[in-house]
Structure 1
Amino acid sequence: MDANNYINSIDFTKITNSKEIATGTYGIVFKGQYDNKTVALKQFIQYADNRNVETALRNLRDVRHPNILTLIGDSSNGSSVYSIMEYADGGSLKDFLHNTPLIEYTFNHVVNWALQYFSAVAYLHSRKPSLLHGDLKPSNMLLMDNRRVLKISDFGSVRAEATTNTNQRTNVPYMAPETFKGVKRSQPSEVYTCSIILWEMMSRKQVYENVDQSLHIMRECENGMRPNLEDIKMVYPEELKKLIVDSWEADPLKRPKINLFVDFFSKYFEQNNIIAADLSI
């Protein structure tokens, strides 16, 4: 692929001290140094049709939001293509929630994180054309600044809503049930996904952890299975409970718009005088 077709084509030899730190759905992630800064390098998995990589980078080049990991540039080394992004030093939300030692957090922390990722997804949905992330899950949400800041990442699947289909690889527990039947992903399906992640933050449990196979999860979700709200031990407003339940509707058209979540968390943040600087963990 011709690196000149991409924004900020970076000489790969200027990236030093690279070390593999993770493997994602759409590639391998490295930590390295560029321009005296620590950066994350995403090596895209090579598809038979490399236009998938071009599309991902093209969709991201103009995306700028405080809760979306910033694309610094891109590079190539032989046949491998890399996106160069800011490095998140707090690790993933998944690791924080489930890896020991477990660190305590409050509903105010949940509100802070949820406001950030719902706002980021709402921003993607508001783009022209509308963009879908397509692979939202806690492992693709990264923490920074003493875990006060959350940014969504792993954008190998970002694409225009009109072209999004269901053959993209993702984790079944976070997928809306209609996508199991071949329905294209949509804004309502990402509202469903975001609310599943919200349940996971509030319960600190793995989604469907007692169901051992993806096919079983798919079948049961089509039959109405949803996470158990009684697993949430935090005290939280009834208004939020209704939003979550409505987001799990089988009919995508009955789910609330994502901006209703943004409005709820923004209002809660303000009314309860939550100060982000006090939420270091």
Structure 2
Amino acid sequence: MATGPMSGDMEATPPGFVEEIDSDEIIVEEVVGRGAFGVVCKAKWRGMDVAIKQIESESERKAFIVELRQLSRVNHPNIVRLYGACLNPVCLVMEYAEGGSLYNVLHGAEPLPYYTAAHAMRWCLQCAQGVAYLHCMKPKALIHRDLKPPNLLLISGGTILKICDFGTACDIQTHMTNNKGSAAWMAPEVFEGSNYSEKCDVFSWGIILWEVITRRKPFDEIGGPAFRIMWAVHNGTRPPLIKNLPKPIEGLMTRCWDKEPALRPSMEEIVRIMIHLMKVQFCLT
């Protein structure tokens, strides 16, 4: 199959941005997980390890098109790379993250890998850098809308973090009232049905920061269906403050999960603060 711009439903994606890949070149090895839509498999393509995401139903096609369109626009070291897509069967061909998800590092099977506070800060900084890139994109910025550890992948021995799962991402100019995302990391304005902005990603990032530092699942003590977490967050419940956490880190974290989106910092500000805190607290650059 010759390579070229995608066709059919793919026409909304800028031509030339996405390589059409012949499915005969792909050797599927094993299922490794499930994304916001579809099944994710490890595969070989032209001698290289890749991840392929396949849709299982027509209802998943819209999310597939969203992810294809958005990933075709981005190029950042902390965002998973899209190599191309197949038309038959329909699938995305992406960078493979051998370290798995950050969620599995935090909460997976025993024995859990050891990591330090410096590792936690580096992961959160890299996540912030990737999201800041999305928020600053031109002509249309992107909101991820589903930031959480299952959508943060690790490579290079766990030293590099990559953001994935763009099936819920949207242009910042869009008026958004759909309850995309996951309850424990979701900003209140999202599940309340209000229009929301890129600051919903900032809220999610603040919850992730708490989770990585504590190695605890956010709102795990609430239990039950998702609406119980949503109701608690709506009423002002946030994860408990962390004993002996340096005040500058605590202050940044609590600003991020402020009820009022306008009072949350931008992702660019978060990146600047994190770089400074890592130099001061951990002597890291």
> CA 1:214/1:51 → structure 2, altered by over 3 Å: closer, same or farther?
closer
Tell me, which stretches of 5 or more residues in structure 1 are unaligned?
276-281
Q: Which residue number in structure 2 is paired with residue 225 of structure 1?
A: 237
d(CA) in 2 for partners of 1:3 and 1:257?
34
Post-superposition Cα deviations, 1:58-106, rounded to whole Å, max 9, x if no partner, equal: 222120000000011111224xx21111100001100000122122221
> CA 1:4/1:130 → structure 2, altered by over 3 Å: closer, same or farther?
closer
* Residue of structure 2 aligned with 1:171, choices 154, 158, 182: 182
Alignment of 1:1-281 (within 5 A): 2=8, 5=11, 7-44=18-55, 46-48=57-59, 50-78=61-89, 81-99=90-108, 100-128=110-138, 129-163=140-174, 165-212=176-223, 213-229=225-241, 232=242, 235-271=244-280, 272-274=282-284
Q: 1:13 is aligned with what amino acid?
A: D
Q: Contact 1:3–1:9 (CA<8 Å) still a contact in 2?
A: no
Count, aligned residues: 270
> CA 1:164/1:140 → structure 2, altered by over 3 Å: closer, same or farther?
farther
What SS does the aligned partner of 1:83 have? strand
Q: Contact 1:25–1:169 (CA<8 Å) still a contact in 2?
A: no
**Deviation of residue 258 (structure 1)?**
1.5
**Deviation of residue 264 (structure 1)?**
1.6
Tell me, which stretches of 5 or more residues in structure 2 are unaligned?
1-6
**Deviation of residue 168 (structure 1)?**
4.8
d(CA) in 2 for partners of 1:97 and 1:122?
24
- CA RMSD, aligned part only? 2.0
Post-superposition Cα deviations, 1:19-38, rounded to whole Å, max 9, x if no partner, equal: 21111222210110001000
**Deviation of residue 50 (structure 1)?**
4.0
Post-superposition Cα deviations, 1:38-67, rounded to whole Å, max 9, x if no partner, equal: 000011354458454333312221200000
Q: 1:204 is aligned with what amino acid?
A: R
What SS does the aligned partner of 1:56 have? helix
What SS does the aligned partner of 1:197 have? helix
Q: Contact 2:66–2:166 (CA<8 Å) still a contact in 1?
A: no
What SS does the aligned partner of 1:102 have? coil
**Deviation of residue 216 (structure 1)?**
1.0
What SS does the aligned partner of 2:173 have? helix
d(CA) in 2 for partners of 1:26 and 1:251?
30
> CA 1:30/1:268 → structure 2, altered by over 3 Å: closer, same or farther?
same
> CA 1:12/1:124 → structure 2, altered by over 3 Å: closer, same or farther?
same
